[in-house]
Amino acid sequence: MIPEFVPYPDSRLSERAAPRPVDASLRATGDRLKAAAIAASAYGLAAAHIGEIAPVVVVNIAGEAEQRSDLLLFNPQVTGMAETLERGTEGSVSMPGLQVEIDRPQWVDVVYEDEAGTRQVRRFEGLAARIAQHEIEQMNGAFFLSRLSRLKREMVLKKWKKRAG
């Protein structure tokens, strides 16, 4: 069963999650997030999508929605990125059916904590880099449409509202 996701423009999608120690509560949020991503065949999710403001995201590093290799990132931060940008299609479970082209760095370095609270450093490349950036930005209160120019964003929102009825 696919879970109910927080719909755009719910205010929780613009809330920044403050870093906090990895504890049983945060791990439980991570477990719910991972289960929701699997149920929805999502490439990634931030806790805000399931209604929780918490510093955790899940990224499917397999690069395909049908194949799962989900990695939970607690308190993630992008610490470095490629200068070269790549254009790719992005969407959100909070705006189902809507996809837009977004330019993002080809790779990013991310510092995060694993489920044990141990600091990790990982370079994400290609689609995994896009997913990690998208979800970390969402965790920090920036919905993916904020990457569009004001004019493009207004056109997309007008189209979305018309379609949503």
Q: Return the active site residues.
A: 135
Q: What CA–CA distance (Å, rounded) separates 131 from 43?
A: 7
Q: What does the block give as tokens for 158?
A: 């007008």
Q: How far is CA 59 from CA 122, 152, 155, in A?
A: 12, 27, 29
| Sequence-distant (≥ 6) Cβ neighbours of residue 73 within 8 angstroms | 56, 57, 58, 59, 110, 112, 113, 132, 136
Residues facing residue 124 across a β-bridge: 108
Q: What CA–CA distance (Å, rounded) separates 122 from 46?
A: 18
Q: What CA–CA distance (Å, rounded) separates 161 from 11?
A: 17
Q: Which residue has the tokens 């439980």?
A: 28
Q: What does the block give as tokens for 71?
A: 């990695």
3-class SS of residue 51:
coil
